[in-house]
Amino acid sequence: MDESRVSVPLQVRLQFGHAAVQYVADEVGADLLHIKGAAVDPTLRAGHFGTDVDVMVRPDQVAAIDGALRRAGWSLYSTFANGSPFGHAQTYLHPDWGYVDVHRYFPGIGLEPAAAFDVLWGDRGRLEIAGVLCSVPSVAGQRVLLVLNAARSASGGRRDLPVVWDEADAAQRAAMEELVPRLRAEVAFAAATGDLERYRGRREYLLWKVVSQGGPRSLEWWARIQAAPDLGTRLRLVGRAPLVNVDHLAHRLGRRPSRWEIVVEFVRRPAVAAREAVRAARARLRRQGVTR
């Protein structure tokens, strides 16, 4: 008998992934909001389901869902600390269901994570995915999250904006504009919708300018430090800036790096940062009309 694995279409696998994660959450009583991809209202999908499962968990239940996923066969792929510049999500991999990103908060939302979850949870809806009822944000909430997600896509990745924002009618925009300040998400929302300069005086301005328009990693780190809400967070970011992201290095190599490879990467990083700074300076001069 042929023991080879059956190839399942990505769209089908993603729907079963959402259902599997919800089943795990139900077992431990964790509150999940399914976001993006297959969990989005069909009128907002822009013809795609994404490539992984995204869920937002009530922040004080992160440990519970982490343990439950591991017991159910998911393995940790990248951590909160190393997964993204925002430290917002932890990624797990299952041999059948693929990747799931577990969000403890959503980048661009300035409201304290537990309070922000309550805002979205309080107006949630229900959607059946692969036969399992899953909680999802309201349609207005989904629109806002998709716009905030687009703000982090300096190149490509903005395919949701035409449907979610550009083609929204007056009532749909009003619903979004009512929710955005409740979540304290004005700066990131403006970065996606073309109104970022209005918030030039906000401490988050440079960070959202860099992530929405592109820039060297060194500038991104400086922007993250500048956007930090308090001195303690700034000091922790300063301490982490020169360190090697071991998760990313492992994914690049296809295996866990050796100590020597980590040392080589640590030495390489300043040279890369210097080259990026030079390229950025040259690009700035070109924009100002200065040529050699």
- pLDDT attached to residue 1: 38
User: Do residues 52 and 14 make contact, with C-beta atoms less than 8 angstroms apart?
Assistant: yes
DSSP state of 241: T
The interaxial angle of helices 205-213 and 217-227, nearest 10 deg, is 150
List beta partners, residue 128: 133
- pLDDT attached to residue 262: 45
- Taking the C-alpha atoms of residue 202 and residue 97, their distance in angstroms, rounded to an integer, is 41
What are 50-80's pLDDT values in tens digits?
788 999 999 999 999 999 999 999 999 888 7
- pLDDT attached to residue 112: 95
Helix (H) or strand (E) holding 126: strand 125-129
Q: Torsion angle, CA of 158/191/152/189, rounded to 10 degrees?
A: -90
- pLDDT attached to residue 252: 61
- Taking the C-alpha atoms of residue 292 and residue 283, their distance in angstroms, rounded to an integer, is 12
Mean pLDDT by 10 residues, the chain (292 residues): 62 93 96 94 78 94 96 90 76 93 94 97 95 97 95 71 92 97 97 94 91 80 77 65 54 61 51 52 54 43
Phi, psi of 183 (to 5 degrees): -90, -5
Buried b (16+ CB within 10 A) or exposed e, 127-136: bebbebebbb
What amino acid is encoded at 213 in this protein? Q
SS3 292: coil
- pLDDT attached to residue 16: 94
Tokens of 86: 């925002």
- pLDDT attached to residue 144: 97
Angstrom distances, CA of residue 163 to CA of 33, 109, 141, 173: 22, 21, 14, 12
List beta partners, residue 56: 33, 103
- pLDDT attached to residue 153: 78
